[in-house]
């Protein structure tokens, strides 16, 4: 193969880029991830500086983005299994372009209000809800099975680079250069145009639904739920995620900044370095898994063990006394979670029938994050009552302990014992 093929072949995480359709889709995704990083900076500065509002208002807008992702994700999964997933992703990009572009235009005209911003944030969240299940479901239809681990690793390799380094850097420069966040939002909106065009150029035409199938959307949803209920390993993992994230999501997101800036006396830059250590771990873990090129011999066991380590890391934040220790805990925690995500997504893509993938991924997301709002709601009062260090320690111990306990529940590691993985594992020759 001519051109860049030698480099692509040598670096495992890049191997899926040999597939034209995946290369196009991933390029568009990478550009839109940079836009997501711009959005992180632009939204905060828009609300806090340009509109002169408080952190509570910023949290309200962020919650508005999350709301449709929770309420619409099941419907999005059903759609991903009923229609051409390419068209669904293009529609999602179009929705996000309109929402983010409107925020930028209204801010530029100085007519943006908080109610309008919340409404557009909800519209933006709708686009995100539509895109996720379609993307996760289409990957195994365009990437050969031997390259699934690398394909899933590639997204986790790019995410911290694009969203937490390149994007915020560009966003900050745009805000400073144009004395406001409006043009940063317009730049973010244009990234969705790039993503949509890249997907439009894909040659594959995916028809997930048999035209002769006259079942309703509710019938399809019930089919997806029935399938998950018959797969004990699948629903056990989803329930484990609900409980463990209930314990740890709120403490990690809300109390880590408190630990770094108050307990350890760190600056905003120190907090950025701690988060950066976690991002670096994601890159390292993704590259390692991609170079390995296949799932571990006992993937479900590795999934639960890496998951538990990531949860126990939350307890580590309650014990640190130096910035470097917080960096180490973040590195271990984020690296472990990256291993979990790559193994989990690849397992689902290999073991779940292709026509059910959209529904299964959407059910996974809804069930897994079901405890997240409660986690955010209770972390404040709990930390006020017992202290944030104690909250972090108990949250991590409970989250990690519960995760390990689920690993030993009957059927949790079924794919390792019933031979289904052996029939799905690609041969070395195929790779």
- Listed in sequence order, the residues at least 6 apart from 302 whose beta carbon sits closer than 8 Å to its beta carbon are 296, 339, 343
The pair of three-digit structure tokens given for residue 183, joined into one six-digit string: 């043009």
The pair of three-digit structure tokens given for residue 159, joined into one six-digit string: 């995410």
CB atoms within 10 A of CB 293: 18
Q: What angle do CA 98, 103, 105 make, to 5 degrees?
A: 90
> What is residue 397's predicted lDDT score, i.e. its pLDDT?
96
Q: Do domains 5-201 and 218-424 have the same CATH topology?
A: yes
How long, in residues, is the chain? Answer: 431
> What is residue 2's predicted lDDT score, i.e. its pLDDT?
47
Longest dimension (CA), the chain: 65
State the Cα–Cα distance between residues 201 and 160, nearest whole angstrom.
26
HSE-up (13 A, CA, CB side) for residue 215? 15
HSE-up (13 A, CA, CB side) for residue 228? 23
Protein fold of 218-424: Growth Hormone; Chain: A; (1.20.1250)
pLDDT tens track, the chain, 431 positions: 444 555 556 666 778 888 999 999 999 999 999 999 889 888 888 888 888 887 667 768 877 887 888 888 889 999 988 889 999 999 999 999 999 999 999 999 999 999 999 999 999 999 999 999 999 889 988 998 888 888 888 877 788 788 877 888 888 888 888 888 899 999 999 999 999 999 999 987 665 555 556 678 788 888 888 998 999 999 999 999 988 988 888 888 778 878 887 888 887 567 778 877 888 888 888 888 888 877 888 899 999 999 999 999 999 999 999 999 999 999 999 899 999 988 998 898 889 888 888 888 888 888 877 677 778 778 878 888 898 899 999 999 999 999 999 999 998 888 887 766 655 555 433 33
Q: Are 326 and 320 in contact (CB under 8 A)?
A: yes
State the Cα–Cα distance between residues 40 and 316, nearest whole angstrom.
27
The pair of three-digit structure tokens given for residue 321, joined into one six-digit string: 């006394």
The domain locations on the chain are 5-201, 218-424
**CATH homologous superfamily for the domain 5-201:** MFS general substrate transporter like domains (1.20.1250.20)
Query: Which H or E run includes 265?
Result: none
Burial class for 422, CB neighbours closer than 10 Å (0-12, 13-18, 19+): exposed
Q: Compute the chain's Rg from CA coordinates.
A: 21
- What separation in angstroms does the CA of 62 have from each of 78, 137, 212, 390? 25, 26, 42, 27
> What is residue 419's predicted lDDT score, i.e. its pLDDT?
66
What does pTM read for this prediction? 0.78
Give the position of tokens 């043009």: 183
Rounded to 5 degrees, φ, ψ at 122 are: -65, -45
> What is residue 9's predicted lDDT score, i.e. its pLDDT?
61
The pair of three-digit structure tokens given for residue 416, joined into one six-digit string: 């390792």
The conformation of residue 19, written as its DSSP 8-state character, comes to S
HSE-up (13 A, CA, CB side) for residue 269? 0
Give the position of tokens 């111990």: 397
The conformation of residue 109, written as its DSSP 8-state character, comes to T
Q: Are 76 and 220 in contact (CB under 8 A)?
A: no
Q: How far is CA 50 from the centre of its chain?
A: 29
Give the position of tokens 């009923």: 82
């Amino acid at each position: 193969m001519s051109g860049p093929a030698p480099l692509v072949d040598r670096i495992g995480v890049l191997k899926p880029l040999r597939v034209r359709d995946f290369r196009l889709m991933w390029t568009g995704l990478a550009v839109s991830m940079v836009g997501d990083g711009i959005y992180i900076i632009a939204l905060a500065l828009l609300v806090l500086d340009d509109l002169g509002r408080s952190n509570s208002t910023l949290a309200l807008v962020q919650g508005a983005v999350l709301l449709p992702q929770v309420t619409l994700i099941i419907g999005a999964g059903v759609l991903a299994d009923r229609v051409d997933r390419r068209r669904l992703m293009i529609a999602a990009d179009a929705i996000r372009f309109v929402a983010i572009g409107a925020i930028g235009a209204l801010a530029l005209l100085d007519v943006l209000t908080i109610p309008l911003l919340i409404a557009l944030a909800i519209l933006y969240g709708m686009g995100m809800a539509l895109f996720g299940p379609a993307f996760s479901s289409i990957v195994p239809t365009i990437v050969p099975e031997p390259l699934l681990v690398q394909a899933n690793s590639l997204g986790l390799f790019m995410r911290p680079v694009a969203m937490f380094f390149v994007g915020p850097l560009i966003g900050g420069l745009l805000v400073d250069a144009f004395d406001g966040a409006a043009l940063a939002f317009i730049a973010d909106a244009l990234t969705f145009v790039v993503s949509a065009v890249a997907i439009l150029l894909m040659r594959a035409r995916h028809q997930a639904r048999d035209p002769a199938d006259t079942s309703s959307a509710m019938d399809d949803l019930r089919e997806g739920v029935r399938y998950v209920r018959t797969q004990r390993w699948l629903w056990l993992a989803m329930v484990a995620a609900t409980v463990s994230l209930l314990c740890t999501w709120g403490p990690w997101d809300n109390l880590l900044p408190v630990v770094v800036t108050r307990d350890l006396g760190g600056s905003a830059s120190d907090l950025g370095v701690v988060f950066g250590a976690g991002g670096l771990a994601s890159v390292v873990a993704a590259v390692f898994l991609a170079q390995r090129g296949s799932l571990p011999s006992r993937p479900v066991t590795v999934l639960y063990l890496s998951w538990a380590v990531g949860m126990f890391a939350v307890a580590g934040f309650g014990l640190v006394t130096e910035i470097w220790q917080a960096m180490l805990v973040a590195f271990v925690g984020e690296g472990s979670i990256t291993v979990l995500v790559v193994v989990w997504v690849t397992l689902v893509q290999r073991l779940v029938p292709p026509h059910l993938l959209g529904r299964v991924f959407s059910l996974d997301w809804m069930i897994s994050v079901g405890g997240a709002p409660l986690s955010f709601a209770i972390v404040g009062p709990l930390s006020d009552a017992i202290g944030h260090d104690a909250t972090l320690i108990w949250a991590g111990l409970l989250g990690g302990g519960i995760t390990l306990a689920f690993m030993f529940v009957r059927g949790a590691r079924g794919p390792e014992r019933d031979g289904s993985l052996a029939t799905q594992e690609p041969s070395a020759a195929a790779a």
